[in-house]
Structure formats: C-alpha cells, structure tokens
Structure 1
Amino acid sequence: MADAKLVRGTMLLTGATMTSRILGLLYIFPFTLLVGQQGNALYQYGYLPYTILLSLATLGVPMAVSKFVSKYNALGDYRTGQRLLRSGVVFMTITGFITFLLLFLLAPVIAGWVLPSDGDPSGNSHGDVVFTIRMVSFALLIIPGMAVFRGYFQGFQSMGPTAVSQVIEQIVRILFILATSFLIIQVLDGSLGLAVGLATFGAFAGGLSSLLVLLYFWKKRKAGIQEKISESNKDHQLSLMTMYKELIIYALPLSFVGLAIPLFQAIDLFTFNDAMSSYGVNAGEAETAYGVFSRTTHALIMIPVAIATAMAVNLIPAITQANTNNDVEKMHSYMTKTFQLILFFTIPAAVGLTVLSTPAFASLYGLEDVGVGSMVLGYYAPAAILFSIFTVTAAMLQGMNRQKHAIIGLCIGLFCKLVLNFGLISSFGVLGGVLATILGYIAAVGFNIWAVGTFASYQYTHIGKFAAKITGFTAIMGMAVWIVREGGSVVFNTSAQSGFVAILVFGVLTGLLIYLILAIRTGVAEQVLGNRFSFLKTRK
C-alpha cells in the first residue's frame, strides 16, 4: 500500500512538473507577439538575476526538507520534522527578505553590468532594466519560505499539495504576464519598459497564489499531522545548527547542478551586449539577437529537453537504490535505459528543429525577426542533446554519491563558456554565443560521461551502437523533411505566416511518421519504450 502511494505520488508530482514546465515554455509565443524580441531581452535582464538568487536560496530545499522529514518520520520522530518546518519557514523567509533587498537595491548596479556604457537609444534604457529587476525581486519575499512547506508535505509522501501549488503558481503567473502586457501595450498604449517590468511582477502573483494553496492544504491536514506528532515516541532533540547542516548536505549539490542553464545564460547576460558592440551592431540589434538567443529559440529547444529528461530522470531513484545495494548489473541496466530514452527523443528533435528552423520560428513568433531567429535556432538546436545528457549524467553522479564530480563537470563547462564567450561573440556575433554554449556543454558532458564510466565501471559500447542507429534513422528523416521544406516553400506562400505554418505541419508529420516507422520496424521503439510496439516489429 505504501509503495502504491509512493508511486502514485511520484507520478502526480512528475505530471505537475511537466505541465508547469510546458506552460512556462508555451506562453513565450504570445508574449513575444506582444513585446517583441527587445521585450524578451528586457524580461531576461530582470528574470535571470532573480532566477539565480532564487535558485541559490531554494533549489534543492523541497527535496532536502522532504528527505529530512521522511527520514525522521520513519524513525518515529515526527517532532523533529515539525521543528524543522517552523524554524525553516522563518529562516527561509528571512533569507528571502535579504535576497529581495540585495536584488532591489543592487538593481542599478546590475543594470549597468548588463547594458553597454554608451546608452544607445535604439535599445532598452537603463531605467527600464532597473524597474524590471525591482519588480521581479518582490517574489523573493514569498517563494523561499513556501519551498519549506512543499518539502514538508513531500516528507509525508503527500505530493498533492506541491503538485497543485506548482500548476496554480504557473497558471496565475502566465495569466498575469499576458494580461498585463496586453493591457498596457494594446489598450493603454503604454511603453514597452512599463509592460515588461510589470509583467515580471507575475512571479510574485504566482508565488502568492501557490502559498495560499499550500496554506489551504495545511489547514485541512494539520489535525492529522498533530495527531502523529502527539503519538511520536521519539525525539532526537537536534539543535538547529545540526538540522541545517544536514539540510545543506542534501541541498547544496542539487542547487548548484540545477543552476547549470541559468549560470550559462548569466555569462551571456553580462557579456553579450558589450561583445555585440565590439562586433559592430547597435544596441537595438544586439538586444534583438539576445532576445532570440536567450529566450525565444531557447524555449523551443527546451521542449524536447523537458520531455526527455522528465522520462529519464524518473529512473534515477532506481539507479540510486541499485548503487546502494551494490547491484552493479541492475544499475548499468537503468543507466542504459536512461541514455536510450534521451537519445531516442532528442537526436531527431534537434535535427528536426535544425531543418525546420525557419518555418518553426516564423510560425510561432511571426515574420518580424525570422532572419536572425531561424539562423540562431538552426545552429542552437543541437544543444538540446547536450542539455539532456548533462542533466541525466549529473543526476546519475548524484545517485552514486558522486555529487562533487557533477559540480566539477559543471565548473569545467562554465569556465569554457566564460573564457570563450566574449571573443567568439566579438568575432561571429550571436552565433559566437551559441558556439560558446555548445563548447562549454561538450566539456561538461565529456567530464560527466568519463566520471560515470569510471566510478560505475560502465561501458559505452552498446550505447554507441544505439546512438549510431538512431543517427542513421534521423539522417533519413532529416532528408525527407528537407525535401518537404523545399517543396513547401514552392507550393505555399512564404510571404505570410500561414505559409510557414503549413510547411511546419507537413514537415513535422513527415518526420514523425518516417522516424517512427523506422524505429518500430527495426524493433528500436520496442527496445526503448516497451513491448507495446512489438506487434509491428519486423519478423526475423
């Protein structure tokens, strides 16, 4: 019964996380139509510093609190978990207030780091960036303390409160962003800076709604929890210092590795505009390119990444258990399945986005910046494979209690990105930023793959053969999609967005059909996804 509850709760939380992520990606399409690429750039100027501070304060906290509470509950000590809840909410709220003050007061300084010193009027103003950073900073007053509540519920194997609050938070945030942007720009004819700045306040609105949901669940379940506490037959009498030390040990590796993409993007945030100025473009062109690179094309390539990693990371607890039990054969089997899932989904998705970069960007974001957008997407799409492999290899290392090596891998990647970024952007423009990101992730992934192979004694021969097979299928698929794209550009009117939509639909359907036929008929789909496809497999 307990196992069934755990599985049901895990599936519920996974589904809610996926829903939240997909909503967080899809709203960017209408938001871009409202504010354009420069609006996206301004949004990133405020949101990235906020994301990094928030992640440092809270990423890993729900899972760490969950692990802590679950551990002591299993020992029959419910009082220790309750003490952690009470002190943790207070401590994290104070931490949130301090980070809010830091971000709010340092907004002019951060804005100065982000924008070129010459203040080119073709781009966003220094005041707009300060206003945007300050508006998003208010969310730090709520979300850190809320993370403790989520972790506490999860420690009781109750995933519903976290799942519901995540989805509600995202829905409210998105509705606030889109409604505010539309009202200010379309109805009140307000400025772009005002629209985007107020839109980022949606993080506070979403956080507040999520907190109210959690308080509702707490009110409903408080009596049952208090009953368990009163019946508790043990009390370890841990000091606050001891409790927080244990929490930090759980949370710190999760926090740092989970910051991989924001940290890579932070390097672009503070170097991109100056480097593009050295490349010879004005601030407006630089911000358009930054908005395309950092937000709109990034959102597209993160869709296959989110799907693939959500499916694969579900196997990580099994890897952890197998490692704990010293069952090397089973651990290797789970690792192989994880790599197969990642490669099966991300390789064709990356190639498909590369081939269909122009119709994909034009269909979703309009024709205004389709030139730079399709160029960046075409070169950036392969990074989806690297993002996914880095995520799962880092998770594998954590499951093997090799957190230190996951952090080392990330630091190697960040160092490469930092060293290469300015020079490559100054030489090749926005594509230099794409290349620096890809090279940084290649370095990080290379180290992680070496570490997994070394410390798990894992041989990659089978995965290499599997990757070669998937690459072959993808090459055939890519050629077919290229033919459809070229033919569609003749048949459909590409001076209108509807023409690109038609090309995209036919291209996606063609690629999906060919890839699935090849995968099913060769038995690869059955190998990766289970025997539900076995009836279509070619008989030997």
Structure 2
Amino acid sequence: MSESERKRAKSFVTEAAILSLSGFAVKIIGLLFKIPLTNILGSSMSIFNAAYSIYAMLFMISTSGLPVAISRMVAASAEKGKLTEVKKILKMSIYAFGIVGVICSLFLFFFAEPLAVWSIHPDSVLAMRIISPTLFLICIASAYRGYFQGLRNMYPTAISQFIEAFIKLSVGLGATLWANSMGYSKAVQAAFAISGLTLGVFLGMLYMVLYKMFSKRKYITVKSSETMRYKLIAKRLVLIALPVTITSSALYLSQFLDTLLINKVLTGTGVTEKTADALYAAYTSLSISISDLLPSTLIYPIAVSILPAVAGALALRKRKKAIGYIVSSIRISGIIALPCSLCLIFLSRPAISLIYGASWGDPITLASGRVVMGIDIAAPALSILAIGIFFISLVSTTNALLQATGKVYYPMYSVGTGVLALIILEVGLLGIKPIGIFGAPISSVVCYIIALYMNLRFLRKTQKIKLPPKRLFLKPFICAAISGVYCFISYKIGYSLWTILFKNSNPDGRLASFVILLLTALGAVFLYIFLMLITKAITANEVRLLPKGRQLAGYFIRKGWLKDSNVMVEDE
C-alpha cells in the first residue's frame, strides 16, 4: 500500500470515526429522551411510536438515503476537480428534493387520520400531523449532508445530527413534562414529545445551510471547467436517488410495517385491542430501540463514509484500490457486528432492565390468561433481533458498496425482496397464536438474511471478486461465538451470586443489571480481542486502518500476534 493510499484509508476511517462518535452521542441522548418518556407515557408509548416510526424511516433516509446519491455524484465530480459541477449538483438537489418534501409533508398532514385509524392507532393523528413538516426539512437537510459527505467532510452531518438529538431531548421532553403536569391526555403528551423532533430537524437543517454560507474552506482543486447541464444532473440525480432512497427507506420500512400490521393482525386473532397495544409498545419501545443502537452507531457510519472513497477511486479508474476498500469495509463491518450480535442474544434481559427498568409499563394479560410484564415480552424479542444485527449491518455496508460502484438498482432488488418476504411472514406468523408478537422480529431477521445473500451475489457478479464467507468471517465468528458463550455463563453466574449476596436486592434491578452487564460485557470484549489476535483473525492492514493503527500493527507484528499480509480477495 503506497503512502497516498494509506492517507486515503486513514481518511476513510477518520470519517467513519467522526460519524460513529456522533452516532454514539445521538443514541445516548436518544436514550436519555426515551427512558423518562416511557415512564411518563407507559403503555401509551404506542401512540408516540406510531408517529416515531415514520421519523425513524425519514432519519435513515436523511442520513444514508438521499445523501448517498448526492455524495456519490459530488465525490466523482470533486475527484476530477469540477468545482462548478459540484455546485450545480447541490443546487439541483435542493430544488428537486425540496419539491418532493413539500408534497410528502402535505400528504402526511392531510392523510394522518385515515392512516392512524387503519393501523389501529387512532390517538396518534395529532403526533403524525406535527411530525409531517420533517419530510420537507429532511429532504433539504439530505441535500447538504450529501454535498458535504461527497467532499469527505463528515463534521456538518455529525454536528447537525447532534443538534437534532439535543433539541429532541430538551424541547421534546420538556414539553411532554409540561403537558403531563397540565393534565393533558396521553395523545397530546405524545404530540408534544414529537414536537421536539420537528424543531430539532429544522435547527439541524438550518445549521448546515449557515455552515455552507459562511464556510471559507476550499475542498476542490479546480482541474476542469467542464460541467454537466442541469437537465442531465437532474436526470442522473433521479436515476441514482430513487433506488437509493427506496433501498434506504425499505430497511426501516419494517418498523413502519410493524406500526401498520401488529395491532391489526393480533386483534384479528382474538387478542384484545388493549393487549395488542401493550405488546406493540413493549416490542417497539424496548426491543427495537436497543437492537438498533449498535448497528446505527458503529456500522452505518462505515457505510456512509466508504461510499465517496469507493466512488472516487472508480472515477479515477483505480479498480484495485476500490476492491481493497470494498473487502476491508465488509470485513470490518462483520468483525464489529458479530460480537455485538452473539453477545446481545444472551444479554437482552439485563440490557432492557438497565436502560428501561424491569418494571416498565403496565402488566399485560395474554390471551392464555397469563399476566406478564413488558420485559418478559421484550427480552426474548430482543434476543431474536440480536441475530439480525450481523445481517443488517452487512446489508447496510453492501448497499453502500453497490451504490458506490454504480449498481444503484441492485440493493433495491435485494431489500425489496427481503421486505416482501417480511410482509408475508409477519402477517402469517403474527396470526399463529403460539408465536404471536414474536413473528415480527423473526420476519425482520429473515428479511435481512435474504437482502444480504442477494447483495453478496450481486457484488461477486458485478465486480468479479470472490467474497467467500469462510475466509471473510469464519475465524471472527468462532471468536465471537466463544465470547457469546462466555456472556451466557458469566451472566448466569453473576445473576446467581447477586441473588445470594444481596437477598433484599432485585437481580433484575438497574443497579444489579449495571454491575452484571458491565463485568460481563468488558470480559467479553477483552476475550474477543484476545481470541482475534491469537487466531490471527484480523490482519495488520486492517489494524492499520484504526486510529493509531500503524503503531499498534507494528507492535503486534513484533510480538508475533499478527502477520503482515492482506486477507483481501483477489480478482477473478
């Protein structure tokens, strides 16, 4: 690897690190928002979640949907030094996406009532109407995010995300507390909570507009005055943005489909509306929020930052470099996702207990007559979703890679097929009484597996590279599996010891969950790193991509813990 290539690789990891840190901060703020909110609304969180599922899908579009399309075009033009063309791409993006945003906002505002009634969430009408302006705001924000990401400046995206999250916490939670103190209904309180999201998106968008206006930084060395006409830019933007946006939104469409389907199908099997609402609230508020925490914080930034790197390399016809980025990003995504997935399978209950409390919500009376708490439903559902963390993480990365290589329609086919399978399975499984609510997470995992399988096939076919799962992930999987077994044994021992040593303390309480989870998770992390090194499951070149990686790689090589060679697949 040449010095210039090392710098570019380092840049890619720095960009991913910026978005990862921002994503982590955003998720922490999100938890600080949701924990008290769930205590205020209780089982009525279903009202908030019905509207929030729309926001979650829009947030994914705004951070890795529309910006991906724009960043790909901007990156290709910037690599060739076409400054005027880059400016025209931004201008056309704002106009085109702004019009789409206005239409979508008006549609949601005026059709909120039939949508809420049909999904059996009639109390969510006001919340849906309050969140409707975010469709327009997110479209404008997407144009600026894509512009800066294409120029490989991740700071505006990271800061705007932080602004959104902070305003959501301060304004949304503050408004909810005020509404609660005034004695307003739960539906109105949920609407006040949503108002913080809308204001946060507006201020995040405003920040990027002002940053663009006042920034003096020069990103491009002008090499060419050639530029595409606006008509051609618009055409290419639509051809790229449409499939990318559909793909991005489809991954979060599963949560939106949960809003539409869960209550409707469960009540159709004889479950009371109150019970169906409580099951939906437990699943969406507890299970989904935690399962989404790890991939959105650690993996999605890799997908976002790798796209301009691959697109830029291909624009300069540097295929070997592009292939290196492709394989490295898949490997790194898998190496991070595997332990997250396998360990969370066994730590779902203490994770929920720590974050939301074991006594969250009201007791739920099942059709069998058995009375359970929300955690009794959410914990096994989270264990199922944990299986999908590995698959959805790689789906996000491979989606970005296919889009970066110009195959923007292929991810749409993959994810579309997965979502179709999800709909069929979810309707079928939710209707089977012994499975019930657990049909939702099972369907989601199957969706991710199908999408990943198709994406890998498309990458092999279009890029003429070998991506053998055994070479890519066998050793990391074994290391992660051993760490997962350690988590299971360690948690069981910790739970039993706490029960014996602190007889008057609930082992499902927040303090117990924190201590047991902290010791178990730290042990699992160190065990995983140790196993990865002694089995040489990670290469020196991959370690070099990490912050301070060159020094670490040199140290590990001298110790004999790493071999100085690539695990990159060769061209066929």
Under TM normalisation by the shorter chain, which class is it? Answer: 0.7 to 0.9
Answer with 138-147 or 150-159: which moved more: 150-159
User: 2: CA distance between counterparts of 1:326 and 1:80?
Assistant: 20
- Counterpart-to-counterpart distance in 2, 1:515 and 1:155: 34
Distance in 1 of aligned mates of 2:484 and 2:85: 57
* 1:513 pairs with 2:514: no
Which amino acid in 2 is paired with 1:18? S
Q: What is the alpha-carbon distance in structure 2 between the residues aligned to residue 338 and residue 242 of structure 1?
A: 31
Which one is further off, 104-113 or 40-49?
A: 40-49
Give the Å deviation of 1:184: 2.4
Deviations 1:345-385 (A, max 9, x none): 22222222121222111111112222112221222211111
Q: CA separation of 1:194/1:335 partners in 2, compared to 1, >3 Å: closer, same or farther? A: same
Match among 183, 187, 194 for residue 193 of structure 1: 187
User: Among 413, 420, 424, which residue is 2:418 paired with?
Assistant: 413
| Cα distance in 1 between the residues matched to 2:225 and 2:465 | 41
Which of the residues 250, 275, 282 maps onto 2:265? Answer: 275
- The equivalent of 2:543 in structure 1 is 529
- State the shift of 1:113 in Å: 1.9
Partner of 2:466: 458
State the Cα deviation string for residues 307-361 of structure 1 (Å, max 9, x = none): 4424643455555566667777665554443343233222222222121222111
Q: Distance in 1 between matches of 2:32 and 2:44?
A: 12
Q: Following TM superposition, by how much is the alpha carbon of 1:38 offset from its aligned partner in structure 2, in angstroms?
A: 3.0
Residue 28 in 1 paired to residue 42 in 2? no
In the TM superposition, what is the alpha-carbon distance from 1:56 to its structure 2 partner? 6.7
1:65 Cα deviation from its structure 2 partner: 3.8
Tell me how far 1:446 sits from its aligned partner.
1.8
Please state if 1:48 is matched with 2:53.
yes
**Residue 245 of structure 1, CA deviation:** 0.6
Checking the alignment, whether the CA contact within 8 Å between 2:62 and 2:138 is kept in structure 1 is no
Partner in structure 1 of residue 331 of structure 2: 340
The answer on 1:138 being equivalent to 2:128 is no
1:211 aligns with 2:205: yes
State how far apart, in whole Å, the 1-side matches of 2:4 and 2:97 are: 31
1:285 corresponding residue in structure 2 = 275
State the Cα distance separating 1:61 from its structure 2 match: 3.7
CA apart distance, 1:162: 3.7
| Deviates most, 327-336 or 199-208 | 327-336
1:264 counterpart (254, 269, 275): 254
Letter in 2 for 1:351: L
| 8 Å Cα contact 1:276-1:429 kept in structure 2 | yes
Aligned pair 1:381/2:386, yes or no?
yes
Cα deviation per residue 1:278-329 (whole Å; 9 max; x = unaligned)? 3443223322322332342222222332344246434555555666677776
Report if the CA contact (8 A) 1:405-1:448 is conserved: yes
Matched, 1:164 2:159: yes
How far 1:410 sits from its partner (Å)? Answer: 0.8
* Bigger share in helix: 1
Name the amino acid aligned to 2:243.
Answer: P
Letter in 2 for 1:422: V
Q: TM-score, normalised by structure 1?
A: 0.84
Q: Could you tell me which residue of structure 2 aligns to residue 305 of structure 1?
A: 295
Q: Report deviation, 1:432.
A: 1.0
> Residue 441 of structure 1: CA displacement?
1.7
1:449 maps to 2:440: no
Q: 1:382 to 1:75 in 2, by over 3 A?
A: closer
CA offset digits 1:53-104 (Å, max 9, x no partner): 6777996443444454565567676555545555543443333222111000
Q: In the aligned structure 2, how far is the partner of 1:35 from the partner of 1:439?
A: 29
Query: How many residues of Structure 1 are paired with residues of Structure 2 in the alignment?
Result: 524
- Whether 1:361 and 2:352 are equivalent positions in the alignment is yes
Aligned residues: CA RMSD: 3.7
Compared CA separation, residues 469 and 244, structure 1 to 2 (3 A) = same
In structure 2, the residue corresponding to 1:382 is in which secondary structure?
Answer: helix
Q: How does 1:94-133 map to 2 (within 5 A)?
A: 94-115=99-120, 126=122, 128-133=123-128
Give the C-alpha shift of residue 538 in structure 1. Answer: 5.8
TM-score by length of 2: 0.79
Change (3 A) 1:495 1:522: closer
Q: Identity over the aligned pairs, expressed in percent?
A: 20
Q: How far off is 1:393 after superposition?
A: 2.2
1:173 alignment partner in structure 2: 168
Which position in structure 2 is the counterpart of 1:432? Answer: 439
- Mind listing any 5+ residue stretches in structure 1 that lack a counterpart? 116-123
Change (3 A) 1:39 1:244: farther
Write the letter of the residue equivalent to 2:250. A
CA–CA distance in structure 1, aligned partners of residues 228 and 311 of structure 2 = 29
Equivalent residue, structure 2, for 1:183: 178
CA distance 1:210–1:423, shift in 2 (3 Å):
same
Tell me, yes or no, if the aligned pair for 1:264 and 1:437 is still in contact at 8 Å: yes
Go from structure 1 to structure 2 and tell me whether the alpha carbon gap of 1:2 and 1:522 turns closer, same or farther (over 3 Å shift).
closer
Picking from 400, 415, 418, the partner of 1:395 is 400
Q: Is the 8 A contact 2:487 2:520 kept in 1?
A: no
1:218-257 alignment to 2 at 5 Å?
218-221=212-215, 234=225, 236=227, 238=229, 240-257=230-247
Kindly indicate whether the alpha-carbon contact (under 8 Å) linking 1:65 and 1:247 is maintained by their aligned counterparts in 2.
yes
Q: Say whether the 8 Å CA contact 2:250–2:415 is kept in structure 1.
A: yes
Amino acid at match of 1:242: L
Query: Residues 86-131 of structure 1: CA distance to partner in whole angstroms, max 9, x if unpaired?
Result: 554344333322211100000011102210xxxxxxxx6x1x2110
CA distance in 2, matches of 1:378, 1:34: 24
Distance in 2, Cα, partners of 1:136 & 1:483: 43
Structure 1 pair 296/13, CA: closer, same or farther in 2 (3 Å)?
farther
